[in-house]
């Protein structure tokens, strides 16, 4: 059973024989989209929750039907579902195109309970967390998965398992490497047969070494995939052809632009390792822990070479 703080005025109103409560659902897209709100009421509800967002109009035309929220005291994952009409414009709610582009992936949300006849009675927070998988039905209705904060807590353990490779992500506060300085601006000059994975780049400073950007990242700046980053599976330095590990939500075009950079292998030594980036002092792993049988132990990073045999690609001409 979860305990929630409810303003006295709102609690008194909910105790009356006839109630006037409704739910307000505010979503903040992760990729910089506009904050928007939906309501379970049949009319729009302008409401200021006291945050920096100011007053938000919670739309009824593309509103949502909330389902029951199930919570337990043992930190089990909260279960909740909702049904939402797909909107035509992003400011009105979930659009089909934005769902396909992943705009709402991991978007933050918060759900309030208010008295729509007197908003001054305050609000009660009924749920909060992030938006997960969104299922579309005939491009008319969608069912967003709501992930609570307890789910995040349960998925991310406070105890790290041991590994021969570094457990930090390059560029985070534990790594300390300035990854923004590694990015090189590019234009896309050609798109391959797989229009969502393969393309040719050009730009001042782009490496001509084979596999220089594998591992690596490509971040789209202009185009339908703007704001999203993708891991690179392979890189042909001669033709400067990039092949992404996973397909993009929208097809890549020659009008797109972006940035490319190399990425760390998370190894102690070798090419594109912590040593290569001068980050050994921040190495988060046990590089010299003896491993007797990699195939049986299945230890993270045990099959990696931390003695420098991870050789660099051929030198540039």
Full pLDDT tens readout for the chain, 317 residues: 455 678 888 888 888 888 888 889 898 887 666 788 888 888 999 999 988 888 999 988 777 777 655 555 555 555 566 788 888 777 678 888 888 777 888 888 998 999 999 999 989 888 888 888 888 888 888 888 787 776 666 666 566 777 889 988 898 888 989 999 999 999 999 999 999 999 999 999 999 999 999 999 999 999 988 888 899 999 999 999 999 998 988 899 999 999 999 999 999 998 899 999 999 999 999 888 876 655 555 555 555 444 444 455 554 44
Rounded CA Rg of the chain:
24
Domain 179-262 has CATH 2.40.30: yes
In the structure encoding, which two tokens stand for residue 115, read together? 């008295």
Question: CA distances (Å), 173 to each of 182, 220, 284, in order?
Answer: 16, 23, 12
Neighbour order of strands in the sheet with 36-39 = 45-48, 55-59, 36-39, 21-28, 108-115, 123-137, 141-148, 82-85, 64-66
pLDDT for position 308: 44
Query: CATH 2.40.30 spans which residues of the chain?
Result: 179-262
93 in helix, strand or coil?
A: coil
């Amino acid at each position: 059973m979860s305990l929630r703080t409810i303003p006295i005025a709102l609690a008194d109103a909910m105790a009356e024989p006839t109630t006037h409560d409704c739910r307000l659902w505010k979503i903040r897209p992760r990729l910089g989209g506009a904050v928007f709100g939906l309501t379970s009421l049949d009319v729009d509800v302008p409401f200021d929750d006291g945050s920096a967002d100011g007053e938000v109009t919670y739309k009824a035309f593309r509103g949502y039907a909330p389902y029951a929220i199930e919570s337990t005291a043992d930190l089990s994952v909260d279960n909740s579902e909702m049904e939402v009409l797909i909107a035509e414009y992003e400011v009105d709610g979930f659009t089909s195109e934005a769902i396909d582009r992943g705009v709402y992936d991991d978007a933050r949300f918060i759900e309030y309970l208010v008295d729509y006849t007197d908003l001054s009675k305050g609000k009660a927070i009924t749920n909060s967390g992030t938006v997960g998988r969104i299922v579309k039905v005939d491009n008319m209705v969608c069912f967003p998965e709501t992930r609570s904060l307890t789910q995040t807590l349960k998925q991310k353990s406070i105890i790290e398992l041991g590994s021969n490779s570094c457990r930090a992500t390059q560029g985070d506060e534990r790594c300390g490497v300035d990854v923004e300085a590694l990015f090189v601006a590019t234009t896309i000059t050609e798109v391959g047969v797989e229009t969502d994975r393969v393309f040719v780049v050009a730009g001042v400073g782009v490496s001509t070494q084979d596999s220089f950007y594998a591992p690596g990242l490509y971040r789209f700046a202009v185009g339908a995939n703007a704001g999203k980053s993708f891991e690179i599976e392979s890189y042909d330095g001669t033709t400067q052809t990039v092949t992404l590990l996973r397909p993009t939500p929208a097809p890549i075009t020659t009008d797109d632009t972006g940035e490319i950079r190399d990425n760390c292998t998370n190894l102690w030594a070798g090419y594109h390792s912590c040593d290569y980036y001068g980050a050994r002092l921040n190495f988060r792993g046990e590089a010299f822990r003896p491993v007797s049988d990699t195939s049986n132990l299945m230890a993270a990073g045990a099959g990696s070479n931390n003695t420098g045999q991870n050789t660099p690609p051929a030198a540039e001409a």
